[in-house]
Structure 1
Amino acid sequence: MHDQDYDDELASQLAALLGHFTIDTAIVEEAFYQNGWVERFDATFFIGGTHRDINPAFLDDAFGTDRTIVWLGRGIDQLDARHPLSSRYGFAYGRVDASGEFTDVSYKDVALQKTDPVTAISYVTDENKARVMAWLEGPDQPEPYVIRSGNFWVFADIPMIQAGDSSAYLVLADLLHDALERPHAEEHRAMVRIEDVHPNIETAYFNQLVSYLYNHEIPFAVALIPVYVNPDTGEEIHLSDRPDFVKAIREAERKGGVVVLHGYTHQLYGMTGVDHEFWDNRVGAFPENETVESIRDKVESGLREVRAAGIDPVIWETPHYNASGLVHKVVAQYFSVAWERRDAPFFPYVVTYPDTGQTLLPETLGYIRGEEHPAADLLKVADKQRVVRDGFASFFFHLHIKESQMREMIDGLEDRGYVFAPPAEVAGLPYTPPEPPSWLSKFASGVSEHVGAFIPQGLKQMSSATVLTLLAIFIIFYYWGIFLLSRKPPSYKGEYDPDLLFVVVVPALNEELVIGKTLDHLLSLKDDNLLILVVNDDSDDDTRDIVLGYPQDRVKLIDHPRALSRQGKGRVLNYAFRYLMASDIVKQKGTSKVIYGVLDADGRVEKNLVSEINPYFADPRSGAVQVGVRISNANTNILTKWQNFEFLAFARLAQKAREHLGSVGLGGNGQFVRLSALASLGSEPWTDCLTEDLDLGIRLMLKGWQNHYCSNTFVAQQGVPTMKALIRQRTRWFQGHLTCWRHIPALSYRHKEPSARIDTIYYLLAPLMVFVFLPSSLLFIMWSVYFIATGASSLTFSPLDYIPAILIWYLFSFGAVPTVVWTFWREEKDMSGWKAFLWAHIFSFFYIFWFLAGIKAVIRLARGEGSWVKTGRVREVHQHP
């Protein structure tokens, strides 16, 4: 219903928006309303835009009905005067304000622009009957913008008037779900379209962008113009003239791109992409000679062109969104889906367009225009559009923008919780997802996009020996830099928070040899804010009975369901996470005040554990804290000594430095994570990655959380005393490390400190060094022995001539060793400096285990093997409670 005489534009816009709900609508001028019509419809919307008297029959029916009434704008004063609203609905008309001082509407704590200058304000008189759903913001106190009383809704203005992408029109779009009783779960999806793709584009750049989208698993669409025309140059380029372009489009389809037919030539008198096709830009009107036949000819010509090239467009987009209703009706005979803006200010979600029956996909953000309209501007709008519970963030870009701008937009939307969806699938069209890119493809793409462009041409032409030498020098400088950083005091430590609750989760699968002593150590921590949660992963030894022997007020045992058991540590940790999220403790404390600790069943903690970790969480941005790790049975044999050297020297040195770089990694033992940080990763924070700890730390960093390293306390764990078990353990770690390469592209462009991203990328790539330096070092030794044994004695040879080669070999093989000797010596207080120096050199050769494990890991990856192998334990004696 509307009061605008024969001008039903606003009513048509509202009817189009209501197309989201697949309902039948009728537009009626209120002057022609007849008694009882309200009862013939499930809901009646009244649009009041004038001062004229409203049909009394409608006023009577609107007040007395139990059907839904949604009142937009003026006229509510007439209804209140005829039937006082306060008695039945608990609100009353107040006043009209035309000052324009109300500039914003507050809805879901988001400020949206108010675009209708006239405001009809009502007030709640009985809060038991009516409540305010959105507020007007002005120079003085807030006033009601939307009031709901049961089935009666009142909007203080007409949201469609001059509506913009971040205006109060979004309030209407969202509340329609409630008014029409069509509930919809909170779901925020995104769509992206590459615009104005025609045969005269630079194919290489197009391919680059498509590869980026594919390798980052971003569904996309290509707005294809089949024929390029430029009257100024006389050019006319068809698809058949550019086989490389056709190949690029078909490859885009293979990678999941959906082709959108964007006109035939996208021009009438001017150049393709600049001119309109169904609008005469010279006179500012629809083409004078436009007919059904002329429209059909253009659409069919475009379809013939693309189909002859083996390309299948399934969606239509009107060039520049500008065409007559006749064009839309003709196009609807060829395409059931269009992707554009029409009539209504815009559609924040999918609608069925009333005039044509077409499905219209939403385009909500416009397009990136470089510095003039950068991605940051669109992202601000996307923030506001999240108030629509099932709204889309839908945008497009042209091929003249920089790739970095596209990445910024995609990254920003994902950071805001939007999930990219395939346009064809959203439209309900048949859609087959592409084969997912391999991790190797994603990694290679990331390197090519973000690293390759910065490699000087001269470096690419260097010999392998020169490159290896430069690489060795880089690594030496890197570790010396890390060493110097590690000597700095910790960058952050706040105040102790007595409200923090620490829940230490102990995954347990056949841990009877060690679980008792672990619980003894944990119970020795006399902290009231510490709970112990043991998750039995279907153990078939005495693990469960041992745990049940401890006081259940501090040690809680839960059983991992048998159907889900023995599938990896990550599954166990996720089960404990869901258990905690549903617990009364978390409901009382809140997720930000609960710290989820992970301790392996062979873990031993120090008494200062909680007191040292707690202050790091004073900063609300702190997501996780990793403590130091040492080997409890280090003196068993030389293998366990080497493992202790790794943790006390290399790992400790690197983690202390990474505290300053912002790239602290999480280990499988001794990690403590804020529950709200885990919740930000979804219902299953830990993945099935074989190094779920490393994977978790990287994903927390990418989500914007800060990981810290606490060097003042330790967790001790068992070392692996046999060679076979050690190689098996390191194979699992190496393979998990390689699978984490999938994060390198995200680390390359996410908005995070460059130092943190670069260091994390280096850490992920570091295993490659095992394949480079260890074989090279051993080959040098073997060559030297062979040279001396077979030929050196027959030459005029001085040992002094060999010193430079030995020095180069030493720097190549051990250049970084001195940086860890200091740390190792300081931790092993009963060891002399020279002894620590000697052990550091001996232990360097033990990296042959990493080399062997790396080969096995690569083979397992090639075979698609990803099974989880639990590290065995050594029996320990404990005092049973």
Structure 2
Amino acid sequence: MNYKWIRLFLAALLMFAAAYMPRPAEAKNRDDGILITYTSLDGKETVNGKMLDLLAGHFSSSVTIKSDHDVTAADLKGKGRVIYYGETKKKLSRQFISLISGMPQQLVSIGYNAEQFRQFAGLSLTEKQNVYRIYSNEEKTDLSLEKGADVFGVSGVKGKALYTYRSNDGKTHPFMWKTDSSNYYFGFTNLLNDSLLTAKELRKVFGESPGSTLLYLRLEDISPMSDEKLLYQAGAYLHKRNIPFIMAVIPVYLNPENGEKVYLSDKPKMVNVLKKLQKMGGSIIIHGYTHAYRYSETGEGFEFWDAKADQPITSENADDTPVKLEKEQDFPNEKAYQTYAEPFRKKEDIYTRTKLEQAIDDLTELGLYPLSFEAPHYTMSEEGYSIASSYFSSIFGQVQLSATTWKTSGAPPFVSKPEMLNGMTLYPETIGFVNASKKNPFGDMENKISQMIDFEGGVAGGFYHPYLGMKYLPELIDQMERIPNGEWLDLKRTKQTVTSDSVEIKTNGDGTIHVQNKIHPVRAFFEHHHQTPLEKALWILSGVVFLFVIMFAGYTLYLRATLKKRIFKERRSLE
């Protein structure tokens, strides 16, 4: 018998079976894209819509967001699920209703207008109420909501009620449903307040089970003027407890009184401490270049947002008089507004790129290798995030959700890759920081840590200021480690890329940092930020003079050698 052919046949059969074997829902759905479509008053994406983007970005790296009047059949291609968000009540167009009602994809509908789709035929909203306590029918437990939630009572849906609340008259009302055809309805509109509950239910939609909780701690606002001894104490303590940590570094300190700059290279002791801590498990991330805009103090001021005018950066030079931007509603149409705004966007682009380039290059030249980015005060325009994505593969903290004010920000409870970050992975800050100015410095953190314990399998990320010394750090770590099934994030053991025009920094997940210079060392020397135009000219002049000195010395040696040869020939001829 020919066993060779039998073995080949069995191998082919196994390959065929593997190719057609159903994959787990989580693995399959993660490869599928998500279409988020929304209805708002002006057709523009709102802060709640962007919050939904942050949540959906956890389940897919391919999220598309479009208003209801822009969606076409082509937008459904490659999308495994559709999430509709009705922030305002509106009669939807026939074309849009037909498209959503006839699609084969699973539909999650949030807020208003769901009853207009075939998937939720018969649904009606009975009332709207602000509630602080809800009941989970699946878990058979009551849940308290610290900030409360504006929910819609729902009736007329065939399926299973997931959550209910009790109204003032004592009656029970469902507000979240799973239909018989496995479509979902969430009866609320304020996703900023209800993000944890939304995230929890989206997990069920996508078939994801909670895993371990990712823990991380940033040592925050490290600048050239920080106390290197206190920084080392904090880093050494974390190293002793086998905790990888993150150092948010600001390469330049800006003196608010006179505008003078202190560079990290001017502080060799601080550089040595950072290098030691980098070897001891610390990962460096860039926390801006100066963490200041105009003459605000480093660590206190903003950098990528004009906080005083509450608008995006409008000048390449921070010393220029700020221009107050006009509002979009002041223009006759969107095209006119875009024409007006374009020059300011170009200035913001130049300003932001210059800052990020300088920050990456300054640290790298000192042997400090940044692996990610954190926007100062978590403030940046959406254009700013897009620019940052060309330098960093990830970002830490929260995300500014409004295009008109820095005062609205948010973060999902888990790692995400939303559309608005243009490919960057977000490691969210979810538990805050130790606030020594309060009577109970841990009060807010304790509440947020408890929320992450209840959520399960998210990210418990926070930060600590090293200037506080060791007074609060041990208790903070104890608080974080009470989270069950927690795993500390080691950024070096993830895949990261940081790149500038002159250098590329990469980690492949094995704990090793790979650095590749893109430009010649001589060019890098002359492009260093410390070199003013006059200094560069003097260096070039010095180089030219040095070249002439070499040429003169070479020519002198040549003449001497020639003279020796001539004298030698003359002597021989005389003999």
TM-score, normalisation: structure 1: 0.44
| Match in the other structure for 2:164 | 135
1:352 aligned onto 2:417: yes
Per the alignment, residue 405 of structure 1 pairs with 472
1:111 to 132, 139, 144: 144
Report what 1:239 is aligned to: 264
Aligned to 2:276, the other structure's residue is in SS state helix
* SS of match in other structure, 1:103: strand
- The residue that corresponds to 1:289 in the other structure is 315
Please name the residue that 2:369 is paired with: 312
Which residue is equivalent to 1:17?
55
TM-fit CA distance, 1:13: 3.1
| Alignment partners' CA distance in 2, 1:39 and 1:305 | 45
- Give deviations 1:538-574, integer Å, cap 9, x for gaps: xxxxxxxxxxxxxxxxxxxxxxxxxxxxxxxxxxxxx
1:340 corresponds to 2:397: yes
Counterpart residue number, 1:430:
508
Residue of structure 1 aligned with 2:152, choices 117, 120, 124: 120
Residues 346/104 of structure 1: CA separation in 2 closer, same or farther (3 Å cut): farther
Distance in 2 of aligned mates of 1:53 and 1:168: 25
Which structure has the larger Rg?
1
Distance in 2 of aligned mates of 1:336 and 1:321: 17
The CA distance in 1 between the partners of 2:107 and 2:432, in whole Å, is: 33
TM-aligned CA distance change 1:374 to 1:53, over 3 Å: same
Shift in CA distance, 381/427, structure 1 to aligned 2, threshold 3 Å: farther
> What displacement does 1:224 show?
0.4
Tell me if the contact between 1:146 and 1:154 (Cα under 8 Å) persists in the aligned partners. yes
- Provide the C-alpha distance between the structure 2 equivalents of 1:32 and 1:265, rounded to a whole number of angstroms: 41
Q: 1:39 to 1:427 in 2, by over 3 A?
A: closer
Looking at structure 2, the residues matched to 37 and 306 of structure 1 have their Cα atoms a distance apart, in angstroms, of 43
Q: Distance in 1 between matches of 2:197 and 2:101?
A: 24
SS in 2 for 1:386: helix
Whole-angstrom distance in 2 between the partners of 1:116 and 1:64: 32
Structure number with the higher helix fraction is 1
**Per-residue deviation at 1:114?**
5.8
In the aligned structure 2, how far is the partner of 1:246 from the partner of 1:83?
Answer: 61
Q: Which residue of 2 aligns with 1:785?
A: none
More moved, 224-233 vs 396-405? 396-405
> What's the counterpart of residue 752 of structure 1?
none
CA displacement 1:782-801 (0-9 Å, x = unmatched) = xxxxxxxxxxxxxxxxxxxx
Change (3 A) 1:6 1:76: closer
Report the alpha carbon displacement of residue 103 of structure 1 after superposing the two structures with TM: 2.8
Q: Which residue does 2:108 correspond to in 1?
A: 70
- The DSSP-based 3-state class of the residue aligned with 2:472 is helix
Query: Letter of the aligned partner of 1:323 in structure 2?
Result: M
Post-superposition Cα deviations, 1:303-326, rounded to whole Å, max 9, x if no partner, equal: 222122111111111111112223
Q: Quote the residue 2:248 is aligned against.
A: 223
CA contact (8 A) 1:224 1:260 kept: yes
1:579 alignment counterpart: none
**SS of corresponding position for 1:54:** coil
Q: What residue ranges of structure 2 are gaps of 5+ in the alignment?
A: 1-36, 317-346, 402-408, 497-506, 513-575
Which one-letter code corresponds to 2:270 in the other structure?
F
| Contact 1:111–1:384 under 8 Å retained in 2 | no
Superposed displacement of residue 387, structure 1:
4.2
Find the partner of 1:8 among 22, 45, 59.
45
- Determine the C-alpha separation between the residues in 2 that align with 1:259 and 1:35: 45
Q: Which amino acid aligns with 2:414?
A: Y
Which amino acid in 2 is paired with 1:112? L
> In the alignment, residue 7 of structure 1 is paired with which amino acid?
K
Are residues 414 and 141 of structure 1, via their aligned partners in 2, closer, same or farther at CA, if it must alter by over 3 Å? farther
Give the direction of change, closer, same or farther, for the CA distance of 1:295–1:374 in structure 2 (3 Å limit): same
Q: Percent identity?
A: 22
1:45 to 77, 83, 92: 83
The secondary structure found in structure 2 opposite 1:351 is coil
Paired residue for 2:184, among 153, 161, 169?
153
Q: Secondary structure at the match of 1:95?
A: strand
Q: 1:195 to 1:152 in 2, by over 3 A?
A: same
Q: How far apart in 1 are the matches of 2:494 and 2:144?
A: 29
Q: In the TM superposition, what is the alpha-carbon distance from 1:173 to its structure 2 partner?
A: 1.3
> What is the rounded CA distance, in whole Å, between the counterparts of 1:28 and 1:185 in structure 2?
29
C-alpha displacement at 1:78, in angstroms?
Answer: 4.1
Change (3 A) 1:125 1:12: closer
For the structure 1 residues 247 and 365, does the alpha-carbon distance in structure 2 shift closer, same or farther, using more than 3 Å as the test?
A: same
How many angstroms does 1:286 deviate by?
Answer: 2.2
Structure 1 position 261, deviation (Å): 0.9
Distance 1:394 1:383 in 2: 13
Tell me the equivalent position of 1:144.
Answer: 174
* Distance in 1, Cα, partners of 2:362 & 2:72: 53
Does structure 2 conserve the Cα–Cα contact (< 8 Å) formed by 1:227 and 1:264?
Answer: yes
- Which residue type is aligned with residue 380 of structure 1? N
Aligned-partner Cα distance in 2 for 1:29–1:235: 48
For residues 416 and 265 of structure 1, do their structure 2 counterparts lie closer, same or farther at Cα, with a shift above 3 Å needed?
same
2:335 alignment counterpart? none
2:115/2:121 contact within 8 Å kept = no
Which has the higher relative contact order, 1 or 2, with Cα contacts under 8 A spaced 6 or more apart? 2
Q: When the two structures are superposed, what TM-score results if normalisation uses the length of structure 2?
A: 0.66
Matches of 2:78 and 2:239 in 1, distance apart?
A: 50
The aligned counterpart of 2:461 is 394
Equivalent position SS for 2:419: coil
SS of match in other structure, 2:476: helix
Higher strand share: 2
Gaps of 5+ in 1: 86-91, 435-881
Describe the SS at the equivalent of 2:211. Answer: coil
In structure 2, do the counterparts of structure 1 residues 297 and 185 end up closer, same or farther at CA, with 3 Å as the change threshold? same
CA contact (8 A) 1:224 1:261 kept: yes
